[in-house]
Amino acid sequence: MIETLPSASGPRHGGWLHWPPLSETGDVPSLGGKSFAVGILSYGILRYLDEEPRERPEVRRMLVRGADWLMKESWIPGKGSVTSATAKSTAIPAGGA
């Protein structure tokens, strides 16, 4: 599985972008990411790196790009939180509006 994650990670910076169901985007096709999914994947990648005996610089770079995505695309300045999804033009902060 870890071999497929780099190709799914955003090319400029991470986020593991996808096309969510139209019901989540107000019927507007939108490419975006979900903060909780990035968190879950990042945690799994960290555990993987703890156990993997080989050096995996591409996996480490992917992890850094995911954190970069959270900071640049999902973080809400002044709120101290992240959006739940970035595909919507009206992203809803995690924990509600």
Backbone φ and ψ of 82, nearest 5°: -115, 160
**Bigger pLDDT: 73 vs 40:** 40
pLDDT confidence of residue 89: 45
Q: Where are the domains of the chain?
A: 5-82
Render pLDDT for 42-92 as a digit per residue (tens, 0 to 9): 999 899 999 988 888 888 888 888 888 888 888 888 888 877 766 654 444
Cβ atoms within 10 Å of 67's Cβ, excluding its own:
14
Threshold 0.75, pTM exceeds: no
